[in-house]
Amino acid sequence: PDLAAARARAEDPLLKELEARQETERVALAGEVCPLMPLEYRTQPHAYVSAGRPAGGSRGRVSLVTQCSVDRLPFLKDQLTAWGGIASIAVYIRTESAEQQTDELKQVESFFKAMDALNSVWLDVGLLFGFEEKPWMEFGNTVLYPINTLRNLALAQSMEHEETDYNFLVDADFVPSAGLREAIESNTEVRRLLTGAAALVVPAFEPVNAAAAAATEEEKVLPSTQEALSSLWVRGAAAGFHTSYYPKGHGPTNFVRWFEAKHIYPIAYEQNFEPYVVMRKDLIPLYDERFRGYGMNKISHLLAVHCAGIAFHVLPSQFVISHPHDRSANWQTFYGKDKDPMMAYRLKHLWKQFQSTVKHSSGVPVISNTTKTFFQLFRDFVSSRPVKEAYVEHINVTHITKGSQMSAQVDAHHERGSSEKIKKSLNPDLLQAPNTTGLPKQILHALATQLSEDGELSKNPWLSAIIPQFVSSHVVSSIGL
């Protein structure tokens, strides 16, 4: 009887409506009282860089771009060993005590020296220092892992790799299949595809823990070829990543089709799709640095990729597979047995806000260190160009908001239709012009705005010649920032 009564209450439409309203109010309150916002982390780009420059030409080459905390360095070692190429890495350093910080820095230095000695990889390692000694920065005692700020740091470093045209965006606990890098760099079909607005999906798999207990010694080793993976797949010892409980994340990859495919095949984007992709550097949008901890951080980025008009295609034969590992502390905070409900409400509020923002193409909030890093990249690029050279830049109708305090202003202006004003203020003839800097288009727009505001145009004749070609002086005033 109690069970029947509970079921009846669960189906009561009035109760459902009341619960939905309460949920909406809690999410809104969480967003107002303690919203997720970018925090100003101390960063050290290029802390450890391999000597010299990578051998070979630039055409078609790929940088692996990833991030991790110090405890995941063993996973990163396996990833880099399998990759065997150029990599840009951002490592998180905890700061609970001076001793801990020193110890983690020593571990990173030791790791870099050991990997660099192999001479099979070329590394560019940056550091980001946390706020463990200041837990109040997160409205509580849980310090959230700044995953998207780390990703932006690694992305910025990769922009200086003149030897590469493309980036492979992947998490550190995934091991590439044998020959993945070579398959990307030498495949003419891949190179032809990536010349345009395309994201090449590298299918992601994982060992199945339920089958691992009874696994043979052979099955305990992560597969490095499609043949070995297929053998595990048919026995249920491997599966598409997280497809058993979150099929939205990688389901659109269509793993059954992948095992049969001989050529690249197109797939449609679906909500909450979060694959690991290879893209042309200048087409990669920034990550929204408000997303910290666990949840929606990569999903939001892939939604931004989709909204930018990028088409998704799947690479056959090659893949990445995840190292088995325990749930992170941040996962426990958001979804574990002792989860903090406020964290879930904060994340829901941010996700709702992000979806509205990205559909208006307003860019994403990032910390000033991120803006400064890309700003310096842009200035380095400008200083390397002859003044007499003609330069035209394709502009994305977006901008980087200067810190989280701008996001509310951006949303308010969008509600008044200011995005249309921004579009009208840009020269339509330049919207189809090629991008020759290798920097993301929204970065260039933001930097042009910053240069204009700082008065740099009048001081540098080369900048004076470049900037007006891809940003109108009316852009800043039209959005009221």
Between 100 and 344, residue with greater pLDDT: 100
- Model pLDDT, residue 406: 32
- Maximal CA-CA distance, the chain: 85
Between 405 and 329, residue with greater pLDDT: 329
Give the count of beta carbons closer than 10 Å to the beta carbon of residue 181. Answer: 21
pLDDT greater than 80 at residue 260: yes
- Model pLDDT, residue 25: 66
Structure tokens of 63? 């940088």
pLDDT band at 471 (very low <50, low <70, confident <90, very high): very low
pLDDT greater than 50 at residue 51: yes
- Model pLDDT, residue 332: 56
Rg (CA), the chain: 23
Residues 163 and 53 sit within 8 Å (Cβ to Cβ) = yes
**In what order do the strands lie in the sheet containing 42-49?**
42-49, 122-129, 86-93, 62-69, 166-169, 276-280, 198-202, 311-314, 265-267
| Domains of the chain by residue range | 2-33, 42-358, 360-479
Structure tokens of 437? 């800097």
- Which tens digit of pLDDT belongs to each residue from 370-423? 877 776 776 665 565 544 333 333 222 232 322 333 333 333 333 334 334 333
- Cα distance between residue 22 and residue 26, in whole Å: 6
pTM: 0.77
- Cα distance between residue 309 and residue 303, in whole Å: 10
Between 439 and 167, residue with greater pLDDT: 167
For the 42-358 domain, the top CATH level (class) is alpha beta
pLDDT greater than 50 at residue 426: no
- Cα distance between residue 68 and residue 89, in whole Å: 8
Phi-psi region of 164 (alpha: psi -120 to 50; beta: other; left: phi over 0): beta
**How confident is the model over 458-471, as a mean pLDDT?**
43
Q: Which residues does 37 contact at the CB level (< 8 Å), separation at least 6?
A: 290, 365, 404, 407
pLDDT band at 356 (very low <50, low <70, confident <90, very high): confident
- Which tens digit of pLDDT belongs to each residue from 10-41? 677 766 666 667 666 666 666 665 677 778 89
- Looking at 38-47, 411-420, 448-457, which range is the least confident one? 411-420
**How confident is the model over 440-462, as a mean pLDDT?**
51
pLDDT greater than 80 at residue 263: yes
Average pLDDT, rounded, for the chain:
76
- Looking at 110-124, 356-370, 434-448, 454-468, which range is the least confident one? 454-468
- Model pLDDT, residue 198: 96
Between 52 and 230, residue with greater pLDDT: 230
- Could you identify the residue written with the tokens 């079921």? 7
- Model pLDDT, residue 476: 29
